[in-house]
Amino acid sequence: MTGRRNSADKESAGFYGRDMVTIRPFEPSDIDEAGSLLAARHAAHRLAHPLLSPRFEDPAAARVEVATAFGGDGASGAVAERDGRLTGFLLGAPKASPLWGPNVWVESAGQAVDDPETMRDLYGLAAARWVDDGWTAHYVVTPTHDPALLDAWFRLGFGQQHAHGLRDIPTTPPQPPDSITIRPARRDDIDALTRLELALPEHQGRSPVFSAGQVPTYDEARAEWEDDFEDETYATFVAELDGRVVGSAIGVALEKSSSHLGPARPDKAAFLGFAAVFPEARGHGAGRALGEAVGWWAATSGFDCVVTDWRVTNLLSSRAWPRLGYATSFVRLHRLVGH
């Protein structure tokens, strides 16, 4: 009886196993040690994905990212301690966008552990506060180099929702199929560009993606194209099949993306930010040719690598982009509490 009571006391105090790990809320004084943990995680990650930025292997740079994560509005989290030393941390914060529901996000700098199993204990403490605050939609951007860490998240009820892909720039120009012509977009393509902009979210809203993203109206999308078409920040390409525009893709510097932050943002990276092909024209190689065109644009524009991302439930993009050489460097995991 006494042994059982002592065991229960240890569990409720945040101890487990023989290592006597203490789990407690994240405090400002934890930033330095958490930064060192993040730097070590990133160094291990770069062994699998060397195109990631080496900057975050420096504990000083990693600490800045942790401080930014902890300084976010509503941010909170947990740390693990063993013998007075930090062995793990977890930080999350909500986003204002209603698209994500009553949410909390762990971004790419928001976690690191010595022992992946510890992440389950960190989440156990942090998530209690998140749910008490009404944040029941949880998103975690986690590196892919550590299968045990991914497994720990899966055993917390999370599933994979999104992937971040990274590839080196191509060394030879693309050779599209004979039936496909790739060229820069012209202003007289705006009608087709507008309809293609609608085609992607319409596709994402169907099975098996079921995205909740809002589809703009034709007039809204066209007005945006009319206003921004001359913006040379973006490189827009179209694919023609039998003389008709059937697809488009956009390349831009990765700094324009709000989804690739901190350790998930390589240096001097281009971003394949958009690609779509009309349903009736799929299967002719237009999508691949557009992706290759953006890659070659990146190579000839001084970028060192190319990044893109996709919903893993999008059957088209989740197959097309890995076939173009994009290796999954981070995944976004998702859990909806209470369902």
Helix then strand count (H, E) for the chain reads 9, 13
Segment (H or E) for 329 = strand 327-336
Residues 210 and 262 in one domain: yes
153 closest CA partner among 24, 338, 330: 330
Reported as a single tens digit per residue, the pLDDT across 212-224 is: 888 999 999 999 9
Q: Would you say residue 335 lies in a domain?
A: no
Q: Would you say residue 124 lies in a domain?
A: yes
Q: Would you say residue 337 lies in a domain?
A: no
Residues 199 and 79 in one domain: no
Q: CA-to-CA distance for 69 and 126, rounded, in angstroms?
A: 14
126 closest CA partner among 38, 16, 26, 13: 26
Reported as a single tens digit per residue, the pLDDT across 68-102 is: 999 999 999 999 999 999 999 999 999 988 889 99
* Distance linking the first and last C-alpha atoms of the chain: 37
The domain in which residue 302 lies consists of 168-329
Residues 135 and 189 in one domain: no
pLDDT of residue 19: 63
DSSP H stretches of helix in 82-157 = 118-132, 147-154
Last residue of a domain, one of 157, 181, 212: 157
Reported as a single tens digit per residue, the pLDDT across 267-321 is: 999 999 999 999 999 999 999 999 999 999 999 999 999 999 999 999 999 999 9
Q: CA-to-CA distance for 23 and 15, rounded, in angstroms?
A: 7
Mean pLDDT of the chain: 93
Biggest CA–CA distance in the chain, Å, is 82
Is the pTM higher than 0.85? The answer reads: yes
Residues 141 and 27 in one domain: yes
Last residue of a domain, one of 157, 191, 214: 157
Higher-pLDDT residue of 268, 14: 268
Residues 97 and 237 in one domain: no
Q: Is the pLDDT of residue 32 over 50?
A: yes
pLDDT of residue 329: 98
Q: Would you say residue 200 lies in a domain?
A: yes
Q: Would you say residue 299 lies in a domain?
A: yes
Q: Would you say residue 65 lies in a domain?
A: yes
Q: Is the pLDDT of residue 16 over 60?
A: no
Q: What is the CATH number of the domain that holds 295?
A: 3.40.630.30
Residues 196 and 321 in one domain: yes
Residues 201 and 289 in one domain: yes
Residues 90 and 8 in one domain: yes
Number of domains in the chain: 2
Q: Is the pLDDT of residue 48 over 90?
A: yes
Reported as a single tens digit per residue, the pLDDT across 55-65 is: 999 999 999 99
pLDDT of residue 34: 98
Last residue of a domain, one of 128, 157, 186: 157
Q: CA-to-CA distance for 327 and 304, rounded, in angstroms?
A: 15
Average pLDDT over residues 144-150: 98
Residues 146 and 188 in one domain: no
Please give the distance of CA 328 from its chain centroid, rounded to a whole number.
Answer: 10
